[in-house]
Amino acid sequence: MHKRLHLGKHDKKKKNDVDMKIAVIGLGFVGLSLTAVLSSKGYKTIGIDVDKTKCRNISQGISTFFEPELEKMLNDGLKNGLRISDDFSLIKDCDYIFVTVGTPQRPNGAIDLSMIKNAVTSVAKIIRSNKNNPIILIKSTVIPGTMKDVILPILEKISHKKAGKDFGLISNPEFLQESSAIRDTKFPHAVVLGGYKTKYMIKAKKFFEKLHKKTPIIVTNHQTAEMIKYANNSFLATKISFINQLSNICQRIPGANIDDVAKTIGLDPRIGKLFLRAGPGYGGSCLPKDMKALIKFSKSTGIKPILLDAVEETNSRQLKQIITLLEKKLGNISSKQITILGTAFKPETDDIRDSVAIELIKKLLKKKARIIVHDPKAIENTKKVFGKKISYESSIGDSLEKSQCAIIMTEWKSFRKINNNLLKKMKRKLLIDCRRMLWDRKFDVDYNALGMGKEI
């Protein structure tokens, strides 16, 4: 355990921003977004990843995933001297080292710390011979206690140095949304810094105050910072499950409109309008994983998370609502041709991790349905999951050819182009709109929108 330091005057020698070196370890969604933004702002930045192919692509200005504005920002950074490598020794003289590697979910719901353990082990080996005193910031999502009980001991044991004296160690959770990662990186709603009130915390706070002017900086301890990230995501998941529960009720009330309900309650400042968009359930790389991890962690502390369990159960039931409606309309769906419009978990991304659409396809395949999918960005990632088990089409029209039902799962703008001419291609004209994108149109089909009670 490192002790709190009483600070006097700051060192006379201060490194200018232009001389400051920053390393980002792990070039996934969070790491590459951060690397691109920092380097585009002129900071001397080094991006590190163990995947050599990924490093080669990024060095050429090619992102390994789709995110609006990312490649432009990345190429701006490369023009400013951004360096990408798999060589950890390049972090040796860095002033700030951000660790942004993944903490995926284990089958039992707990998080897998193997990647972050490997990353901090590599960092510890390098800083062992450092002359300067770097600040290590952990952006990876970890359960409360991980910094003190896992990461700190690894760093101190292998580096033979003391946190708070020879290097700084700070929890710095991220709050990025896919499809707006660059904006969220540049203009975060808050910056959380968890750790002890050492000279390194003061230095980090000043760095972020300059980087993000007018953004609130929350300084707290490690455990609280770790908990903030889970609290944030679990509350967002709760809002989604809440509005989805109301959506199911509205669907049973003739003429009821869940969007009008959500819009109106969202005007109440105590509630807020965000994450009140009813749909087939939450997905993506964060909410499902973090909910399961928090539930698992809560139970390990002796707390039964009744509300969190209900949120997760409500989310899983949304998928059953779609299948129940489908079978009500088609009967036995074995050998029925069903079109899935959208496999990305949200628009403007190619990410299908924990996508509800992917889970829906898996369940429909078990029922022997024949599946055709169309997605503007996520087809290649979808192929990695299903291969030749399903069919893929590059246009909406081709995906509807001879289909007996089309299900809109992702709110891509292009799906608003669906009209009667396209729907004529279907063998049976049944459309299930999980996003209510087309509810105000006149269609010559059996149109069903989740959350919209049909007039009697």
The DSSP bridge partners found for residue 371 are 338
**Mapping DSSP to helix (H, G, I), strand (E, B) and coil, where does residue 220 land?**
strand
286 is catalytic: yes
**Domain presence at residue 228:** no
Please provide the size of the chain in residues. 456
- Indicate which residue of 250, 286, 405, 434 is catalytic: 286
pLDDT band at residue 329 under the 50/70/90 scheme: very high
Q: Do 266 and 176 belong to one domain?
A: no
pLDDT band at residue 455 under the 50/70/90 scheme: low
**Domain presence at residue 455:** no
pLDDT, tens digit, 9 for 90 and up, residues 405-439:
999 999 999 999 999 999 999 999 999 999 999 99
**Domain presence at residue 233:** no
Residue 148 DSSP code:
I
**Mapping DSSP to helix (H, G, I), strand (E, B) and coil, where does residue 449 land?**
strand
Q: Do 259 and 213 belong to one domain?
A: no
pLDDT, tens digit, 9 for 90 and up, residues 191-244:
999 999 999 999 999 999 999 999 999 999 999 999 999 999 999 999 999 999
Per-residue pLDDT at 456? 54
**Domain presence at residue 209:** yes
pLDDT more than 70, % of the chain: 96
Per-residue pLDDT at 3? 42
Q: Do 410 and 307 belong to one domain?
A: yes
Gyration radius (Cα) of the chain, Å? 24
Tally of structural domains, the chain: 2
**Domain presence at residue 456:** no
Per-residue pLDDT at 132? 86
pLDDT, tens digit, 9 for 90 and up, residues 287-307:
999 999 999 999 999 999 999
**Domain presence at residue 297:** yes
User: Token digits for 24?
Assistant: 């980002």
Q: Do 173 and 268 belong to one domain?
A: no
Gap between the Cα atoms of 91 and 227, Å rounded: 29
Antiparallel, parallel or unpaired: β 217-220 and 337-341: unpaired
| Sheet with 405-408, edge to edge strand ranges | 391-392, 370-374, 337-341, 405-408, 430-433, 446-449
Q: Do 216 and 258 belong to one domain?
A: no
Specify the CATH number for the domain of residue 122. Answer: 3.40.50.720
169 within 8 A of 151, measured Cβ to Cβ: yes
Does pLDDT of 11 surpass 50? no
Find all residues with CB under 8 Å of 396, minimum gap 6, and list them: 341, 374, 414, 415, 417, 418, 422
98 within 8 A of 135, measured Cβ to Cβ: no
**Domain presence at residue 234:** no
pLDDT more than 90, % of the chain: 91
Q: Check residues 6 and 159 and name the one with the higher pLDDT.
A: 159
Q: Give me the domain span that covers residue 142.
A: 17-220
